[in-house]
Structure 1
Amino acid sequence: MDGAHLKGKYKGTILHAVAMDGNNKILPIGYGICLKETTDSWTWFLEKLHECIGDVEGLTMLIDRAPAIAISIQNVFPNAQHGLCGFHLIGNIVHTFGKKKKTTILFWKLVRAHKTTEFEFYWRRLRNITDDVAIYLSQIPREKWTGAYFPTTRYDYMTSNSVESMNVVSNKARKLPILSILEFFRALTQKWFYKWRMVAGIQGWSLSGVDNTTYQVHDFKSGGIVNLEEKTCSCRYWQQIGLPCGHVIMVLTHLKNDHFGHMAIGAYKIETYRRMYEQAIYPLSELSDWEVPDYLMVVNPPMMEIRQADRPKNTNRIPSQGEEPKIRRCTRCHSTTHNARTCKEIVPKKQSKSKKHTGVSGSGTKVTNEEPMQAIENQWQHEPENQWTQHTEQQWQQQQLDNQWTQ
């Protein structure tokens, strides 16, 4: 059991109760809409559920750690057992102590343990690796989260994935109005009940004989035509794999022949497997005890070229249309005959660039440390202009004085 939030105009929470049938299929039991998940809302929902199913022997409920659900179960279904979802527990552990691979593996070993001795073995390993997680789990009763200490039958379901799947299926439907949401679940339940009812009504495969060695098997799909004399089937599994397919086994069962081994090829038979390894491989004696004949000729190892680190490149590849060959150059001397690792050319070191610093000279010209000679040349070029400007200003001042004297 679990709840999911509504996403439409009318906010609220929808409560789910699902079961698992004998064929490991999800069986919707009930659903209800309330304001939010509280003890009163869960008690109301479970009371309505109790009116439908009554007291069921061996009833086990899987929930998360929400205290409201646990209290409601104890009040409405006092004889039922409830366990905690393993995914919710490991999610809390990861959120609190961080994600660690060894811790996760040991946690699921503890959850799926069937015997108490197996549980204690993995519990000691968890205590040695991370004592904080062990202390956290020790605060939760073991009969709630591990199969080894569960008092009744848990049916090998350690998580509430089935009800989470219902939340995923209704993800878009939870955006609809209330009546549309209820109609969605009713239609979904109707569809699933009809589908699994048809499957449950099927008695099995059927068989019809063609002749003494040929039979046709109907498997509600494409079927298969089996020829026992030629050892063939129309599904071609028998020919390609070498093992009899389901159609062949159906025919042999119909003929009351329980021995299927002779229908497989020789590579799968026990006799072939035994003959394959019947010859023993004996060890060699010490090298000093070997008897070396005198007529043996000493053969030196051949001269081998340096093997490339990876697969040799294909130099005979035909270029595609419009593809231009890529020219590779040495990054030191820019030659095309070698690369920088094998370059032997003498290349002068590059001069380090000084930081730029701008200043103003006495004549008003900007000077930078990057190019001092160029700055001096610029100052020399602008110097006559400065002198000419000063000379012109002196003439203009003298002319003004003459004009005043004349007036």
Structure 2
Amino acid sequence: MRYERLKERGEAYTNWLDRIPREQYALAFDGGYRWGHMTTNLVECINSVLKGARNLSVTVLVKATFYRLNELFTRKRAEADARINAGHVFFEMVTSKLHANQRASGNIQVSCFDREHEVFEVREMSSGVEYAVDLHQQWYDCGEFQVDQIPCRHVLACCANQRLDWQVYVHDVYKIDQVRRVYRARLSWRNPTTWPAYHGPQFVGNPFLRRVAKGRPKMTLFLNEMDTRMLRGPRRCKQCGAKRHSWSRCRQ
């Protein structure tokens, strides 16, 4: 639908879009590699961990990164253990979504085509739309499972009809036990006095690269055509026409 809207505005838009692989911008064609998330800047997730450790010497930078990651691993490991001890199997987001799908699966009619290969046909009573469900191949016409790797309402209806365990169709990435395995690693730090002696060149920090404490920090981003506001020239005063100040701070 949105593609047709772009085509109405001009074929140049769709021609530009056709040159980009669909799996790079369309969630329906990503092959289930993003787990329902549309983001291209995953490194920002650990930005809070390394915040404040920039512009330091190499030794201090490595040491600060180690201690902060060690604290993060310890906290996440304790949270995962607490969730497992409380009887939680999946994330709260996944559990709430599964409950919503279970409530919606009550208004679906299921027809079993092949019990051995787990092939079904489901029909929504409200809209009359029919879908094919292949549990063995984990393929469904609605496409929700291929994107999120979580059983949709049609899959839950088929599992309830044939008394199958729906938890086997939830990917392991949503299980808290898998998260605990990620943060199970123990980080160790050797005493610096036991390190081998360094006989290489001595590096001296450039004092001009030190961040100034006063004033607004200087922007170091590489601007493109989207940053139209930042690409504008310096601010001009409406009173005297000079640059670098506004009319409220004009000396004239």
Do they fold alike, i.e. is TM over 0.5?
A: no
Higher relative contact order (CA 8 A, sep 6+): 2
TM-score bin (small chain) = 0.3 to 0.5
TM-score by length of 1: 0.26
Which protein is richer in strand relative to its size? 1
TM-score by length of 2: 0.39
Q: Which has the larger radius of gyration?
A: 1
